[in-house]
Structure 1
């Protein structure tokens, strides 16, 4: 799973959401340059979710179930050798904006930025807890699949370029803005250990988590897979 609060975890983004997050030697399939399969070589800094979704690169529940069935089930790996510094973030995306500021802009409403691309006003609705925030400082950017969780499920075997792509992915549903409180509550936990308190978000959360793991060829544990199935079962048919 899935943060830029200057405390812990991973940071993410979602249209009309808020936040940053407190976030196997088997590497997923990807191009030689470290990009995940299907990822744009240079995602547009203003990448927008499609079709009313709050996150980019989302798939329907039927596709998510197929993705989940295709994930390799394996025990969680160790944290040996892990460091957040091995996942370079937040990188510059142009116009003085780094990945965090791009997500705050993307996921907020009426966001105004200063000359340094810092969000100075706007409104964000946090996916995880449904809280509405008007102060960007109270938002974290969460990594849907936290950096540490990625490490335990395959990223330990990646090269630096692939880890950088994973930590700054604007094309897939890996980053979203959420409240700092919800992001820090999540930490680096997988869905079997932490679920968004707002159960209305479970369908989206399960689809997003599954899509990111499928995109990067990461593994899942049996309890994790079971909870993802439960989350997908909350989706309207």
Structure 2
């Protein structure tokens, strides 16, 4: 009796293992998922609470005023942490830089397997943040913004789509993959709210239209 029961348990364990492996095999590429993305309902409330103001000046702006890719955990910098978070089957070396993996870019639906072909997008670009309030921030606050792993602000995307975006706001540019428009708006609003940044009237109208696609 004991032998039969043990055999049955082993078979059940093997079946469970095979089912788990099959499930993993059938999964698609990992989706980039910044933390703290608000729901559509919450995003609408947050958008309504943002201060509407004209776009500020670029006077005095420099990317150097936003030190980024600083070490945030051991010898891992923010870029490397996002590559690990947003990738699939990511393997890293002793220096924390990925040696292999697969990354799905939500903006354009492209998949890359070479880390150097992936950019980490500041969803609210550094220059856009400067024009909407960050010009008055302290150096430490700008550094925290540029390396923010707590709020929805950093996401792994292809270098080409990141370059096409530049420092444009949602009234000027949206991801070419329309299925991501709702999420993009929610991330943008979440970041602007978390950092108490303003929006222009055109930006607010564009974000409302994007939320209407949810």
TM-score (norm 1): 0.77
Does residue 196 of structure 2 align to residue 179 of structure 1?
no
Give how far 1:88 is off.
Answer: 1.3
Map of 1:130 onto structure 2: 109
Give how far 1:123 is off.
Answer: 0.6
Give the whole-Å Cα distance in 2 for the aligned partners of 1:118 and 1:217: 32
Deviation readout 1:102-150 (Å, 9 max, x if unpaired): 0000000000111111111101100100101111110000001000000
Deviation readout 1:2-26 (Å, 9 max, x if unpaired): xxxxxxxxxxxxx733xxxxxxxxx
Q: Which one has the largest radius of gyration?
A: 2
Deviation readout 1:172-210 (Å, 9 max, x if unpaired): 110010000000000000000001000000011000000
Match of 1:214 among 188, 193, 207: 193
Give the whole-Å Cα distance in 1 for the aligned partners of 2:94 and 2:50: 44
Give the whole-Å Cα distance in 1 for the aligned partners of 2:189 and 2:207: 7
Does residue 64 of structure 2 align to residue 85 of structure 1?
yes
Greater relative contact order, per chain length (Cα 8 Å cut-off, separation 6+): 1
Contact 1:145 1:213 in 2 (8 A): yes
Map of 1:16 onto structure 2: 31
Query: Which runs of at least 4 in structure 1 moved beyond 2 Å after TM superposition?
Result: none
Contact 1:128 1:201 in 2 (8 A): yes
Give the whole-Å Cα distance in 2 for the aligned partners of 1:101 and 1:121: 12
Alignment of 1:12-161 (within 5 A): 16-17=31-32, 54-161=33-140
Map of 1:39 onto structure 2: none
TM-score (norm 2): 0.85
Map of 1:168 onto structure 2: 147
Alignment of 1:220-231 (within 5 A): 220-231=199-210
**Count of residue pairs brought into register by the alignment:** 185
Give how far 1:95 is off.
Answer: 2.9
More strand by share: 2
Structure 1 stretches lacking a partner, 5+ long: 1-14, 18-53
Give the whole-Å Cα distance in 1 for the aligned partners of 2:171 and 2:60: 24
Give the whole-Å Cα distance in 1 for the aligned partners of 2:106 and 2:146: 19
More helix by share: 2
Give the whole-Å Cα distance in 1 for the aligned partners of 2:74 and 2:203: 39
Map of 1:196 onto structure 2: 175
Give the whole-Å Cα distance in 2 for the aligned partners of 1:155 and 1:94: 25
